Structures are given as C-alpha cells and as structure tokens.
Amino acid sequence: MATHPMPSPALVFKTADLPAEFEAIHQLNHHTFTTEIPQHQPQPDGRLVDRFHDSNLYLIAKRGDAVVGMLSVRFAPPFSLALKLPDLERHLPPDRRWCEPRLLAIAPEHRGGRILKGLLQLFLSTASAHGTDAAMISAAVNRLPFYQTLGFQPFGPLVGHDGAWFQPMFARREDFNLAMSRRGRFRAIQPSPSPPVSLLPGPVSLLPEVRSALALPPICHRSTAFSPLFNETRLRLRLLTSSPHVTLTSGPATLANDLVGAQLLLLDEPGMVLSNGEFGERLGDHARRLWLPHEHLRLPWGKPLEVPKLAALLDRHPEVRWLWTTHCETSTGHLTNLPALATLCSERGIRLAIDAVSSIGVVPLDLSSVWIASASSGKGLGAIAGLAIVFHQDHARPAPDRLACSLDLGTWADGDGIAATLPSPLISALHAALVHTNWHVRFASLRRYHSLLSERFAALNLPRAAPPDQSSPGIITLTLPPGCPALAVADQLESLGCLVYSRSHWLRSRNWLQFCLMGALTDDDLDRVLAILSDASLWRSA
C-alpha cells in the first residue's frame, strides 16, 4: 500500500465554506480594520462581522487549518460604496457588469510572500467565471499607488473618517489587462477560452439538442401536443430498461424513492434494506419515515454485496418478502451485481426494489426482473433533474385510503399517467436526451473514460472508495489522506477548468473527492481533464 508522508502545510487558495474558516475571517477582519486601519471600534470578543457577511463570497488563503489571508467579493448590489456615495452610478462607466472586492487582509506574519498574488489570481478567475468586466473598490489612501499599478483609477470624493480615509476607485477589464501587460504580473481578466468540464453528479453537461428542447415554449400538460410527447418519452424509457411500466412525476429522485417506499408499505409484509454507503442509508431513512416493517443490513461503505452470504442470510430469515437497495451506490461508486441479486430474489419469491438513480443511462440496465425501481431525469439520462421516475412490474392501483396523493403511485400511473401538472420543458428535455443519445456508443465511451481516469489515479497512488472492477463507470470516489484537503483540490481543479464534487457533507466529513462521468462528455473533454490531473502540484500533499 502506498504511504503518504505528512509535509509541512501547503499554501491553499479557496472559497471559504467551513464554520471554522468564517470564524477566522471575523477575527482577521477585526485585527485589520480596528487595529491597523481604525475603521471600526474594537470589540471585546475580537470579532468583526461584516454587515454584508451573509451575502459575501470570501476568497481565502490557508496554511494548514489557519486562515492567513482573505478577500471578500460582491457580485451584485447592494455594494458597500453605495452606502458612502448615494450617487455612485453617476461616477461609474455605463453598461458594465460590476463586482466589488473588499476587506483585503493578510495576517502580519504572512506578508511579503505569495499570498497577495494568490488571492488576486483567485479573484480574477472567480470574476471571470461570474462574467464580470469591471470592479469598484474603496482603497486605503496610503495604498493608492499600488492600486493604480493594477489599473484602478480614482473617482468621487474621499470617504471614511480621520484615521481611515478611503478613495473610491474602479478598473475596467481592459484597464487591468493593459496595466498587467506593462508589469507582467498576474493573469489578466479574460473570459475562459472554453467552459469548464463538468464532472459533477448534477447538473450534468447537456447535449445541444437537450438545451434547445429546454428553450421551447411551455405547453399545457392537457394539450393534444403534450400527450404524444409524454407517451413517447415513457415508451423510450421502457425500451431502455425492459420495464413493463414507467411512471413520471414532478419532483426529485427523493420523491421517486418515497413512491417506491409507499408501494412497499402497501405489501403489508416485512422486508430488508441493504446499504453499503450514503444512499443506501437514505433508503433506510425512507423506510423508517414510512414505518415499513424491516431490518436494515448495514455493510461498511464500499464493501461489495456478496450474494452467497446474502443468500445464506435470507435462508435464515424466510419472513423477508422484499429487499430494497442501491444498484449504483452514488457515494462510493460501487456497482451491485444486479442480475445475481435479481436471480437470488426471484428464487425466493422476494420482491426486489432498487435505487437506479445513478446507474440508468450510465450502464446497460435490465429491469425486467426488478419489481420496482427509482430514477431521475438528471444524471446519466442526460437531462435536467426535476422528474421523478418509477419503473414497476405491476400496474399500480390507486390507494386513496392509505396514501397521500403525492405518494400514491397508482394515482400517478392510472389512466393517461398524468395526475397533475407536468412541466413540458423537462419532458421535452428528457425526450431529446433519449432520442439523441446513442446508448451503445455512450456506454462504451464511459467505460473507456473510466479506465483512463483509473489508470491516472493509480499512477498517482490515490486510493479509491471502491476498486475499479467493482465500480460504476460513471463514478470515481477518491479517499484522500488528511494531508491533501479534498476541498482545496476541488477549488484548484475548478480554477483550471474542471468541476468535481466535494461539498456534500458525507464527502467533506471523509475528505473524499468525486469525479462523475454522467453528462455529455467528449474525448476532448477527457483529454483536458487528463492534462489538468497531470499537474503534480495538485497532489503535492498527497
């Protein structure tokens, strides 16, 4: 097994998102703007919370757990300068997309190094991502020459009070770029040459045809134009999965799992929930909330389901009449052997229910032997989340005496399958994704992409939550060592043009980093990602 020595803390630039980081920001803010620049009165607790704190975006520099520098940015009004200059707009060039960087502060013992440059570079990439082309600031009067070298020019009167005077200044993108070309410092504010590659589990990158379908004018769900669109969408879903019935409702994948749980409730029989990760645990939560009679078999996260051992367990518990688990466990990427599990349940007369949210559209999926399954219009299907999908063997019957309307699959499935308003843009987008995706080519491409990424991570000695041969080709979850902060790596990848998943509580608590291959990716996209991952500095603490 590879060893990971603990180096001295690296300097990391990122967006603040942890409670401890915000607390450190308040303390650094207090030191800078009550002691060094007496703009505010000192507070007994040594904390200064900015009046715009709840809507600020904080860019920070960290060494280990210590916040050593910060810069706050606002990308929408109200801007703080408007409180000091009521006629602010009169002073500014028109037709600009403004931002306001504020509260630049660096701990005294860390000045004179890379921190200022790193914060400014992070600001520039963040501003570019927000479509900003001009910035306004309140510059401390003793720092005017520095800001002028960055392309800022003064406007309006001084603001503030004795001991803390500030000069309003602004810089347009072209002003900054000209100043930087003269000095050869920092990166100019330029739009990214191409959009970032999204390796998020959602929202996923979309085919052009899907984006076009989303832009179509909405139509009534009871119109003659909607019915054929809706029916063909359901037919294509059935053909993709070999499922006898499919029901679509408005809502997230969570609602699809609630609908599955409600059907299990109507069985009035005991069952078993099986989990080996976060989303299996969520199925257990669904079962508890619905008061399902069940046992919950918890396996360690990432541990594969061993069908022979499960068979022996079920033989000892003949009272189990249904089994509910994930096909692809989204947290680890582990992929259950569905044919073996379906055969096991069929031989014992056990109804099999699966969460297929992260497997449909990512791997070939045969639901012909599955009693009921949940899915969503996002992720592997390549559309926009917002449609809950349930595949089922039996024709669902309404149960008005036992279930609420929204949880009654029979109500949704009865008649024409339209029990309430369905958003036509989401149906159109899903239909376009189903029509314009060559599924054989897609499945083969995802396997190849997964293999190439797996080879790169193996070469970097980066451990995974599930081994490649037991993983879905749509998910790679890295289990990073403590010396390599997943959030910091994710922020650096984003600045380089690659979006990865790191901010869910279950990822953050374990220092895991997730690469998801669920959207409309191309060979060029993967080449960009592999080139970015080759930068050894990304993993210098790994």
This prediction has a pTM of: 0.67
Q: What residues contact 52, with CB distance under 8 A and at least 6 apart? A: 72, 74, 78, 80
337 class by beta-carbon count within 10 Å (0-12 exposed, 13-18 middle, 19+ buried): middle
Q: What is the per-residue pLDDT across 108-122, written as a single tens digit (0 to 9) for each?
A: 887 766 788 888 888
Q: What residues contact 71, with CB distance under 8 A and at least 6 apart? A: 58, 59, 60, 101, 102, 103, 104, 105, 119, 120, 122, 123
Q: What is the per-residue pLDDT across 331-380, written as a single tens digit (0 to 9) for each?
A: 999 999 999 999 999 999 999 999 999 999 999 999 999 999 999 999 99
Looking at per-residue pLDDT, the higher value among 225 and 260 belongs to: 260
The CA distances from residue 171 to 65, 166, 179, 322, in Å, are 34, 16, 10, 65
Q: How far apart are CA 270 and CA 102, in angstroms?
A: 59
- Does 9 score more than 60 pLDDT? no
Find the range with the poorest average confidence among 369-373, 433-437, 516-520, 523-527. 523-527
Looking at per-residue pLDDT, the higher value among 179 and 245 belongs to: 245
- Does 541 score more than 90 pLDDT? no
Q: What is the per-residue pLDDT across 278-297, written as a single tens digit (0 to 9) for each?
A: 999 999 999 999 999 999 99
pLDDT for position 479: 94
Q: How far apart are CA 129 and CA 110, in angstroms?
A: 28
Per-residue pLDDT band for 4 (boundaries 50, 70, 90) equals very low
* Proportion of the chain above pLDDT 90, given as a percent: 55
Strands 498-499 and 197-198: parallel
pLDDT for position 539: 65
Q: How far apart are CA 338 and CA 335, in angstroms?
A: 8
pLDDT for position 187: 46
What average pLDDT score do residues 29-38 get?
86
CATH number of 198-203+439-539: 3.90.1150.10
Q: What average pLDDT does the structure give for the chain? A: 88
pLDDT for position 6: 41
Per-residue pLDDT band for 249 (boundaries 50, 70, 90) equals very high
Domain spans in the chain, listed from the N-terminal domain onward? 11-193, 198-203+439-539, 208-436
Q: What architecture (CATH level 2) is domain 208-436? A: 3-Layer(aba) Sandwich (3.40)
- Does 174 score more than 50 pLDDT? yes
Per-residue pLDDT band for 194 (boundaries 50, 70, 90) equals low
Please say whether the structural domain 11-193 has been given the CATH code 3.40.630.30.
Answer: yes
Domain 11-193 identical in fold to domain 208-436: no
Q: What is the per-residue pLDDT across 129-163, written as a single tens digit (0 to 9) for each?
A: 777 889 999 888 878 888 888 888 888 888 888 77
Q: What is the per-residue pLDDT across 422-455, written as a single tens digit (0 to 9) for each?
A: 899 999 999 999 999 999 999 999 999 999 999 9
